[in-house]
Structure 1
Amino acid sequence: MSTDQVTVDQHETDHELGRGLRIGSVLMALAGVAFIGYGVVFLARTFFGSGFELGVETLNGVTPADLDAVDPAIMHYINHLHVATAAFIIATGIAITALAWYGVRRGMLWAWITAVVAAVVGLGIALPMHYFDFFTHSWMTHLGPIYLATIVFVAGSVLAYRALRSDPQTAEAGGNAGV
């Protein structure tokens, strides 16, 4: 009878670990998709928006039309930077989504580490600049979507990491379980 109890307990523990990894990796991938979406909106605003970017309508009262009147090269340069920024946001989102869906979900610790490092580097470099108040922006529309995606990503990363660290197969295989 005690053997049956151990088997059931072990099965429930394995099930919970698998569930944590599934939910965590899906949340990480969902955040990656949200990063892609933010980048696409960023890109679309460059070509079809009336302001500079999401949540930034003017730069201290100066509109894109005002800058274009001074010298069209200014807005071409700003748009060039917006396109490049959008491209890297989208590319990072694609990488995080793929790493979470195809690597983390299969128990690969290296994929988790790579996804987390990519997100931390991108967000760690980009977000602090917004706290210097060099220009006026709507916190809710400019940074709200990224912070929401970041919260989802962190929650997923924590769930996935706990499952990865608790899975003896992952530890024995050096993070390559499921390969």
Structure 2
Amino acid sequence: MATASAHLPAVSAQSAVRTGAAVMSLAGLGFVGYAVIFFVRNFTDSFLELGIGSGEVSVGKAQIEQFSPSLYHYISHLHIAVSGFIAAAGLAVACLAWFGVRRGQMWALGTAVAVPVLGLAVALPAHYPWGFDTLGHLGLIYLDTLIFVVGAALAYYGLTRSRAET
């Protein structure tokens, strides 16, 4: 009896590593893209993060600024700072994947995985108690994380397979 894998084309370990690293790099750049959206919205009338509206926050930019200009500036500075850290993490992940994982460095894979895991482990839990877990707000991050996980799994498969073959 033939197995399902007998009908699938063989994927070389090196091909899996290169493809996985490329997908991880793309996802890292996706994090940078999300940071750009986050940054730009701070300077528009939207002000609040993507996917956060009147259902989650009962006031908008003008009302916050009218209520307390210093609070408005404080929130704005947080938006700018968070977008910078998201972009920096995304760039780090993309570079680690492209220049380290693609060359077969297991430490680069571990670090590239640890960076978004740490960021998401700290950031995501705060979204749920106050209803900021909307699909419009977290959907792009969930999608980008899924893409990243696929790439990381493929790269890990290739790296462990190539080590087992040597």
Fold match by TM threshold 0.5: yes
Code of the residue aligned with 1:126 in structure 2: it is A
CA 1:109–1:152 in structure 2 vs 1: closer, same or farther (change >3 Å)?
Answer: same
- 1:131 to partner: Cα distance: 1.2
Superposed CA RMSD: 2.0
Match of 1:31 among 27, 30, 43: 27
Out of 41, 44, 47, which is 1:45 matched to?
Answer: 41
Q: Report which structure shows greater RCO (CA 8 Å, sep ≥6).
A: 2
Contact 1:57 1:137 in 2 (8 A): no
5 Å-filtered alignment, 1:63-82, equals: 63-82=60-79
> 1:144 matched to which residue of 2?
139
Q: What is the 5 A alignment of 1:15-30?
A: 16-30=12-26
Contact 2:104 2:159 in 1 (8 A): yes
**1:1-150, aligned counterparts within 5 Å?**
16-58=12-54, 59-132=56-129, 134=130, 136-137=131-132, 139-150=134-145
For the residues of structure 1 that align with 2:133 and 2:48, how far apart are their CA atoms? Answer: 12
2:127–2:133 Cα contact (<8 Å) kept: no
Query: Which residue does 1:155 correspond to in 2?
Result: 150
Kindly tell me: are residues 107 and 56 of structure 1, through their superposed partners in 2, closer, same or farther at Cα, counting changes over 3 Å?
A: same
- For structure 1, the 5+ residue unaligned runs are 1-11, 173-179
**Structure 2 length normalisation: TM-score?**
0.87
Instruction: Report the Cα offset of residue 51 of structure 1.
Output: 3.6
Distance (whole Å) between structure 1 residues aligned to residue 80 and residue 163 of structure 2 = 44
Q: Which residue of 2 aligns with 1:177?
A: none
CA contact (8 A) 2:20 2:153 kept: yes
Contact 1:100-1:115 at 8 Å conserved across structures: yes
What is the rounded CA distance, in whole Å, between the counterparts of 1:91 and 1:60 in structure 2? 28
Greater than 3 Å deviation, 4+ residue runs? none
**Residue of structure 2 equivalent to 1:4:** none
How many angstroms does 1:77 deviate by? Answer: 0.3
> Would you say how many aligned residue pairs link Structure 1 and Structure 2?
157
Alignment partner, residue 165 of structure 1: 160
Q: Which amino acid aligns with 1:19?
A: S
1:22 is displaced (CA, Å) by 1.1
The structure whose Rg is larger is 1
Contact 2:50 2:136 in 1 (8 A): yes
Q: Residues 103 and 111 of structure 1 are in contact (CA less than 8 Å); yes or no, is this contact kept in structure 2? A: yes
